[in-house]
Amino acid sequence: MSLSPAAEEFEQIIRHQSAHEQVPFLLALEKKDVVAVREKLKSLKKELESIAQIAPNTWGSRGTSEQFAGMALSGFAVFSRREALSNLHRGWGLGGTNRKNYQAVQTNLLVILKAFRPDWLSDWLQARNNIAGGWGMDYALLRRLEEEQLVPHQPEVTARVVAMAIHIWGSELSDIDPVPLNSAEIIADKFRNDSVLLHRDLPLVFEFDTSILAGSGVRIQPPMPPGMDGLRAENGEYMYPWQVWNQQHPAQFVTWQDVFLRLVDSGHLDRADVITRCLLALRRDFRRLLLVWFKELFQALKPTLDERLANQAALGELLVHPLPLVANFAIDQLQGLLPEAGFSLKPLLLYADNLLTRPDLKTGIRALLASLLKLPRQNATHAPAVTRLLTTALPHPDGLVQERAAKGLAGILAAPQPLLSPAETAAAEAAISYHAELLGPAARTALANWLAPVAAAETAIEIAAYAPAEAFVPELSAATAITPVADWHELLFLTGQVLQHNDPAATERWLDGLLRLNGQLPTGYAGQLRPYLAQLFPQIKKASAAEAAILREPVDLYSHEGLVQAMLLTWATDFATRRVESVDVKKPHSVLNPLLGLEKQRYLLAEALLAGRQALPLLSTPTHQPSWVAPGTLITRLLAYQAAGTPPEPADLALALARTAHTHPTEAAEALRQLPTLADAGLRQLLAWFLGPAHLALPELPVAPAARLAATVHSNLAEALPELWAVATRTKAPAGVFPTLPAVLGYDYAGVSQPVHTTFEVVHRENNYPDPDQPGQTKTYRFVELSWSNGTKRAAPSALLLYAPTFGKSKYGSWEGNWMLTHDFPFLLALTPNYTAPLYEQILRSAAWADNLESSERDLIALALRALLSPGPAFGENETALLASGLIHNTALCRSLAQEVLLRAVANGRLQPGGLGGIIGQQLAVGYAPVPRLSTVLTTLVAVDALADDALCQLLEALLPELPATPPRNTRKLLELYASLRDRTRRAIPAEVNARFSIWKSVSSLKTANRLLA
Amino acid sequence: MSDFAYAYAHPSTLEHSPEGNKLSLAAYAEDAPTGASCFFWGRLRDSWLAARGLTTLAKVVASRFVPQSAVLRDPIVTAGAGMLRFEAFSSCNGVYARLDLGPDALDGEFLSSGTTNVDFNEPMVNALARISRTEPVLLSVGDKEVVLERAAGKVTERKVALPERWIKGLTAVQGYLAIMEEKMALSRVQAVQLVQSIPAGTAKSDFFLVLRGPRPSFAPVSSPGAVRVGGVHRLRLLEGLLPLCEGLRVFGTADGQASAFVLAMGGGQEFMLALSAEVNRGFSGEGNQLDTLMDELPAEWIVGANNLFRGNETFNPMLFAMENDLAPATVDRLCASLSAMGLLGFDLAENHYFYRRLPFKMERILKLNPRLKNARALLEAVDDVQLVGIGTGGRTEARVRGTGVWHTVVVGGTEPPRCTCPWFTGNQGQRGPCKHILAAQMRFL
C-alpha cells in the first residue's frame, strides 16, 4: 500500500525534524489526510515507544524525547477520543527535566489545542489525573486551557494540579541565579496575588485526594553542577560532593503547612475557615498520610479553646472515623474541652456505643474515661451522662479500659452523696449485670458489690501432681505400621510428593518402594517419569536433546534434596548413570552435621542395590511411624542380607540402630529369639546387649589394637564394629557413662564414654553509634547473646559416630546454612528418633543465640518446636533449652508453638518443669528477653487442666529463685501468675522461693504480688 | 476481565431528617424484574445493629490480604423469602461475608424478589458509623421510582466492572458451605475471648481453633476437634462485631479447606464470615465444584431446576431429592451447575440453598471454570487423551497431553484420581482436579 504524501512528510518530521516544522505542518493538515497521519502516528508510536534491546545489557525505547514530544503533540491534533484515552499517555511532562524545553512544548501544545479544539480534552485530562495524580501539569497551563474554554473547570483535576503547584514553582526558584532566600514568602505571594487560586482553587485541596502528604514540600536549591569534587574536611573526614554543595548552598524547604500558615497569618486565608475545612477533611475516607497532614495543619494552627468549642460538633463527628488515627485525634481534642462550661456531652453520648466498644482504640478510650471521671466531682449533674458512658465501655475487650470504667462506676455508685436517681442507679446496675460475664478479673473486683457472687461455682478445682514419665515405649502396632508401596502407580505418583521434599515418611516409602519393585516396573516406565523431571529441569519440555544431556551430563545437586533428585535422575536412566555420588552434602552447610554424610551413604547403597537388581531392603527403612524400625524386622533384614551373602553396610546399620525401637518389650523379645540364627558373632553380641534389658551392663569387648584407625563409611562390618558399639550405647542410654568404650575404639570422643552436655555463656554486648537526632552524642544499644557450647574442639574421628556434636567453621551458623538446615532438619531428625539432643544443640547454636534474630532463625526454631510436639522420651537438656527459647521468643508464632509443645509435653510426660524453669530464669535474669513475653504465654495456659497447672507451678518454682535481687521489670506478672497457680494447685511455697520473696520484700513494684502470696 | 458492568443512577445515601434517617441503597440488578427497581422498602427494627453488620461488610469488601490493586466496594443483595442477604468478598477473594436480615429484623415491604448490586460509597459507609442505638432508619434497596434513563452527560453514576471472580467465588463458597459441619458453638463470652486470642500480626502459617478448657484459643498445630483457620488475622474483620453477638457457631469442611463463622446477632440478624484455606487462595481459584460439573446435564434439566428454584427461592437439597425422586448425586450436579452461574447460595444456619436472581447464562459454566474448559479442549483434539489400560477395580490409566510432556493419569475405582502434572503434585487434589484428570474422567468414566 502506498503511503500518502502527508503521512510521508509527517514521518520525516517526526524522525528527523523538530517542532519548528511540525507545528506548521499540523496546522496546515487537510481533513482528508488526518486518517493517514493518524495511522502513521500509531505505527511510529509502536515502533519508537516499545522497549527493545538498544545496546548490550541495555534496554529501552528507541525514540528520543523530542520524538516523543512530537508524537504527543500530533496526537492532540489527529487522535479520536478512543485513541486519545487509550494511546496518548504522554502529555504535559514531555519536556522532561529541561524547563526551557518544557515551556516550548507547552506553547506549541496551546497552539495546536486552540486550532483543533479536541472535544475529548477534559475527559483525557481527568483520566490522566486519575493515573498520574496531577504530576507534571502546570497550574498556569490549566488556567490557560480554562481561559481559552478548551476545558471546563474540573474541581478534582484542579485540586490535584494545585497540590503540585509549589513543586513547579520551587523548581523555577531553584533555576534562578542566585536563588532568592525568601522562597517561602515568594511562593506564598503567588497565592496572594491570584484571587482565583486563593479563593476558588486552593480550598479544593481539602475536598479531594491529592498528592499532599504529611511533611511534603519542595526543596529549593541551585542544581549541583556535574563533575563537582568532594573534599577533606577540617576534622579529616571526607565530604562527598553533595555534602560540599549543601554546605555552600543550604537548601530551603517549603512545605504546604508553611504556605498555609503564612497565608493565614497575613490574613489572606480565613483562620476559622481553614480550621473547619481541616475537620471536614478529616471526616473523609482519605489516605492515612493525607489525613495526618490535615491533622498536623489543624494542630499547627493552634486553635484556641473558643475555636475548639465552636467546632465541638465537627470534632464529635470524628469520634467514629474508621481510622484510629482520626478517632484518637478527636478524643485528644475533646478531652481538653470536657471541663469547659460551653462543652456538651451530647456528641459523646450519641456516639458512645460506636466509640467506647471499639477494640482498636484502647489508650485513647482510657484517657477519655480518665477525663470523664473528673466531671461528676466538678458538677454532679454530669453524673448520669458519665455513668451511661462508663457502662457502655464495660464490655470493651481491653482489660484496662474495663478496669477504668468499672472503678469509675464503683466511685459514682458508692458516692457518699447519691449522684444518681434511683432509676438511674437501677439502670446502671442492670447494665453491670448484663455485662458481668464479659468482665475481666480487675473489673470484677472493682464492681464486686454490684455483681452476683459467681465465684462459688468455680471453687471445685481439680488437683493433680505432674511428674515426667520414666521411660518411653514407642507404639509399634498395626495403627502405626507403615504400609509399603503396593504397585507401580503408587510409586509413580509418590515421586511427585517426594520431589516436594517436605515429608520424610513419604521419601522413606518411596526409597523402599524403589527397592521393592526393582525389576517389576512396566516397560518404558522412564518416559512416565518425564513430567517429574520436567518439574526439576523445565528445559527438557522443549527439546529431547536437553533431556538427554541432563540425564547424561553432571548436574549440580546439593544437600538432602539433592540426594532425592539424584536418585530420580538415576532411576530415569534405569540406573545406567549413577548420580548420588556427585551430590554435595557439605558445601551449603555452614555447620556440617554427620548425619548427612551417613544419609548419602545410605542412598549410595540403595543406588547400588537397584543397579545390581538385588532384592534387598535397606536395614534402616522405618517400619512404624514416625521413623521407628521394629527390632524383629531389623533381625529379619539382617538374616536376608546373610542369606544373600551380602554383608550389611556399616552406615546403614548405624542408622538402623539409631532408629530401632529397642525399648519395645515384645518386639525386642521376638528379635532376641531370632538373634541366634545370625552368623556374625560380633554383631550378635552387640544386638543382644542393645535389645536386652535397659540396665544390662556392657559386656567385655575386645580392646582395640594400638594405633587403630577410626572406621570410615567404607570400612567393613568387622572394622566398624567398635563405632557401631558407640552408636548402640548412646542410642540405648543417651545419658549413660561407658568408661570402657574408648579402649574398644582406640580413642575417646565427645559422646563416646561420656554424654555431651550443652552449656551457654552469657555475653553482654553493646553497639555505639552517633545519635542522628542529637549531634555529638553517642547512642548505645546493649544486648545479650548466648554462646552455646558442647565442649568439642575437634571433628569426629569417624563418620560413623552419628551422634557426634556439630563442629563447624561458623559459631552461629549463617543464613544460607540455616536456610538449608531448615529444609534438611525434618529428614535428619527422622534418622535418630531415640536420641535427638545433638540435632537440637545445632538448632540452639544456629538460631537461639540472640533475641530478635531474623526469619531464617525463626523458621529453624519453629521447625524444631514442631518436632517436639509428638510423643517421645522425656526432654533432655537441649530439648528443654529449645522449649525455653520458644517460650520467650520474639515472634508470636514461636511462642504459640512453644505453648502447644508445653501442653503436649505435660500430657505425654516429656516436660522437665524444673529444668525449664531454671533455664528460663537464668535467661530472664540477664535480660535476654522481657518478662511479659513469658507471663503472657503462661497466663493463657492456666486452668487448661490440673496436670498443666501443677507443671506450670513447678516451672515457676524453679524460675523465681534464678531471678536476681533486683528483679527484672514486670516480675510482678510472674508473681501474680504464681499466686493464681498456687490457688489452683495448693502447692506449698518451696524454701528457695520463700528466700527469694524475702529478698524482694523491699521492692515496691512487687508489694502487691507479695501480698497475694502472703 | 468482566462479562458485565453495572451502573447506578445515583449514589447510595444515608439521609438525616427530623422524622428519622433513610438509608437508600442504589441498586443495579443485572437481571432486574421487569418494571421493578425497588426490592425492599421499610424500617430496620434494630438499625444500630444492622449498621454494625453493614459496616463490617464494608470492611470486608475494602480489605485485601494479598497485594492487589482493584477494589470493588459494592456488595450484592438478594431479596427474597422474607429476607435481605448482603453478600461480599474481600478484594483478594479469600474472605466471603454475608449479612442476613431476616423477617424479625425488617419491618417493611418486599416489593419484588431479586438480586442486585448496591452502591457502598464512602460517605454512606462513614454515615453508617454514626447511626446511634435509638435512631430509626428506613431502608430502601433500589429506587421506588423507576428510573429508566438518565440525562445524558450526568456524572452521578458510577460504572464498576463486576469481577468474574466474584461469581467464581460464589460458586466455590456455596460448594464449601454445603458440605461444612458445625465444629463448635461458642457463647457470647467465648466470642469475646476469641477476639482476644487472635494471634498478633499477620499469620504466615495455619492456625487451628481449639477449646482449651472453656476458652477458645488459636494453636499453630492441629489436634482432634480443632478447626483449621488459614490466615487467622483475617478474623480481625469481625473484631467489632464479635463482642455484640449472642453466640457464635464455627463451621469447617472435613478436609480443612474452608471455615465459616456464623454470628447470631439477635433480632433476626445473622452475620457469616467464610475464610479460604490460605491467605493467598481466593475462593475464585478453588476447583471444588469441578467434579460435579464434569458431567454435562441436559440443558432442559438445568433450565427446569432454575425455574423451580427461582420460584421457591429456598430449598433443602436432600428434601428436594426425596420429593422429586432424584438421586442425591443428580441434585448435587444440578446445584453445582446453577451455582456455577452464581445462582445459588447456601444458608448454613438453615441448611438450605437460596436462590439469587442473576442472569441464567449457561455459557458462564464453562467460561468461569477454565480447567473444565481446558479439559474439554483436550477432548476435542484427536489424540490428546489416550487410554493405556484398565486395571483392577476399574482403575483406568490414561496418557494426557501436557505442556511439552505427556502426563500419566489414573482415574476410576475407589481411590482418588491422580496425575503427574505440577498442579496435582502441588495440591494433591485439595483444590479440585486438574484438567488432565477431568479430561480422562470425561472420556473414560
Closest residue in chain A to residue B58, using alpha carbons only: A322
**How far, in Å, CA of A441 to CA of A195, rounded?**
63
How much is the average pLDDT of A54-72?
83
Domain boundary residue, one of B263, B285, B307? B285
Does residue B302 share a domain with residue B193? no
Confidence tier at A867 by pLDDT (50, 70, 90): very high
Which of B121, B193, B420 has the highest number of chain A CBs within 10 A, making it the mutation to test binding with A? B420
* Residue A810, pLDDT score: 56
Give the residue from B141, B163, B185 where a domain finishes: B163
Contacts of B188 in chain A (CB under 8 A): 437-438
What pTM does this model have?
0.77
With beta carbons under 8 A apart, name residues in chain A contacting B207. Answer: 896
* Contact check, Cβ <8 Å, B406/A532: no
B323 and B254 inside one domain: no
A357 pLDDT tier (thresholds 50, 70, 90): confident
Average pLDDT of A547-561?
82
- Tens-level pLDDT at each residue, chain B (445 residues): 344 455 566 666 777 666 667 777 766 665 555 444 678 888 889 988 898 899 899 889 888 898 766 556 678 888 888 899 999 999 889 999 999 999 999 998 888 888 877 777 777 777 777 777 777 888 888 754 333 232 333 333 344 555 777 888 888 898 899 899 999 999 888 888 888 788 878 888 889 999 987 789 999 999 988 999 999 999 999 988 887 888 999 999 998 999 999 999 999 999 999 999 999 898 988 877 777 777 777 777 777 777 777 777 788 888 888 887 888 888 888 888 787 777 888 999 888 888 887 776 767 777 778 888 899 999 998 899 999 999 888 899 999 999 889 999 999 988 899 999 999 999 888 888 999 999 999 998 8
| A542–chain B nearest CA distance, Å | 6
Residues B184 and B146 grouped into a single domain: no
> What is the tens place of the pLDDT at every residue in A500-524?
999 999 999 999 999 999 888 998 8
Q: What is the distance between the alpha carbons of residues B365 and B296, in angstroms, rounded to a whole number?
A: 10
Measured CA distances, A55 to A52, A59, A62 (Å): 9, 7, 11
B126 touches chain A (CB under 8 A): yes
Can you list the alpha helix ranges (DSSP code H) found in B28-156?
47-62, 122-128
Chain B: closest CA distance from residue A220 (Å)? 34
Per-residue pLDDT band for A533 (boundaries 50, 70, 90) equals: very high
Res. A1011 pLDDT band, cuts 50 70 90 = low
Provide the pLDDT confidence category of residue A728 given band limits of 50, 70 and 90: very high
The shortest CB-CB distance from A531 to any of B125, B188, B402 is to: B402
Distance from the Cα of B66 to chain A's closest Cα (Å) equals 19
Q: Are residues B104 and B196 in the same domain?
A: no
Q: Does some domain include residue B118?
A: yes
| Total domains in the fold of chain B | 4
Name the helix (H) or strand (E) containing A862.
helix A855-867
- Phi first, then psi, for residue B406 (nearest 5°) are -105, 130
Do the Cβ atoms of B219 and A900 come within 8 Å? Answer: yes
Residue B350 falls inside a structural domain:
no
pLDDT at A964 over 70: yes
What's the pLDDT band for A57 if we cut at 50, 70, 90? confident
C-beta separation of B97 from B276 below 8 A: no
Core vs surface per residue B367-380: b (16+ CB within 10 A) or e: bbbebbebbbebee
What's the gap in Å between the CA of A539 and the closest CA on chain B? Answer: 10
Cell numbers placing B107: 419491618
Q: What nine digits make up the cell of B379?
A: 477432548
Tell me, yes or no, whether B92 lies in a domain.
Answer: no
- B357 domain residue, yes or no: no
Domain annotation covers residue B337 = yes
- Decide if B120 touches A, using CB distance below 8 A: no
Distance of CA A906 to the CA centre of its chain: 29
d(CA A844, CA A759): 10
CA distances (Å), A590 to each of A813, A818, B146, in order? 6, 8, 74
Is B202 near chain A, with CB under 8 Å? no
pLDDT tens digit string along B181-225? 999 999 888 888 888 788 878 888 889 999 987 789 999 999 988
> Looking at beta carbons, which residues of chain A come within 8 Å of B240?
357-359
A95 has a pLDDT exceeding 50: no
Instruction: List, for residues B411-428, the tens digit of each pLDDT value.
Output: 998 889 999 999 999 988
B204 touches chain A (CB under 8 A): yes
Q: In this structure, are B35 and B153 located in the same domain?
A: yes
**Grid coordinates of A33:** 489526510
Do residues B331 and B428 both lie within one domain?
Answer: no
Share of chain A above pLDDT 90, in %: 57
Residue-range definition of the domain harbouring residue B324: 290-342+362-366
pLDDT at residue number B145: 37
Question: What mean pLDDT, rounded, does chain A reach?
Answer: 89
- Contact between B260 and B275 (Cβ < 8 Å): yes
Q: Is residue B188 part of a domain?
A: yes
User: Which helix H or strand E contains B219, and what residues bound it?
Assistant: strand B215-219
CA distance B151 to chain A (A): 18
Picking from B126, B220, B408, the nearest residue to A492 by CB comes out as: B408
The C-alpha cell that represents A762 in the structure block: 552469657
**Smallest Cα distance from A123 to chain B, Å:** 12
Least Cα distance to A405 among A452, A371, A454 occurs for A371
Contact B420 A496 (CB under 8 A): yes
> CA-to-CA distance for A27 and A23, rounded, in angstroms?
6
Chain A within 8 Å of B208 (Cβ-Cβ)?
A: no
Does B416 reach chain A within 8 Å, measured CB to CB? no
CA distance A820 to A498: 17
Beta strand pairing call for B21-25 and B137-142: parallel
Which residue in B has a C-alpha nearest to residue A348's C-alpha? B132
In a domain, B103, yes or no: yes
Asked if the structure places residue B355 within a domain, the reply is no
Burial of residue A425 (CB within 10 Å: 0-12, 13-18, 19+) is: middle
Using CB atoms and an 8 Å cut-off, which of residues 365-394 of chain B contact chain A?
A: 391
Residue B281: which CATH number?
Answer: 3.10.150
Within a 13 Å sphere around the CA of A88, how many CA atoms are in the beta-carbon half?
A: 30
Q: Which residues of B touch A496 (CB under 8 A)?
A: 420, 424-425
| pLDDT higher than threshold 50 for residue A813 | yes
The helix/strand/coil state of A126 is: helix
Residues B53 and B139 occupy one common structural domain:
yes
pLDDT at res. A20:
85
Question: End of a domain among B285, B313, B330?
Answer: B285
Q: Which residues of B touch A358 (CB under 8 A)?
A: 240
From chain B, pick out residues whose CB is under 8 angstroms from the CB of A531.
Answer: 402, 405-408, 420-422
Is B156 found in the same domain as B50? Answer: yes
Query: What sections of B294-392 are H helices per DSSP?
Result: 299-312, 317-323, 328-339, 363-367, 370-380
Q: How far, rounded to the nearest angstrom, does the alpha carbon of residue B420 sit from its chain's CA centroid? A: 31
Residue A809 is predicted with a pLDDT of: 52
**Residue to test with chain A: of B21, B221, B407, most A Cβ within 10 A:** B221
Q: B159 and B15, same structural domain?
A: yes
For residue range A451-485, list pLDDT tens digits in order. Answer: 876 544 445 667 889 999 988 999 999 999 999 99
Q: Residue B200: which of A437, A438, A892 has the nearest Cβ?
A: A892
Cβ neighbours of B199 in A, within 8 Å: 892-893, 896
ipTM of the complex: 0.81
Interface test with B, best of A896, A902, A906, A940 (most B CBs within 10 A): A896
pLDDT at B212: 85
Same domain, yes or no, for B150 and B16?
yes
Neighboring chain B residues of A320 at a CB cutoff of 8 Å: 129-130
- Which of these ranges, A164-173, A771-780, A935-944, B377-386, has the smallest mean pLDDT? A771-780
B30 and B148 together in one domain: yes
Average pLDDT over residues A46-68: 83
B381 and B333 belong to one structural domain: no
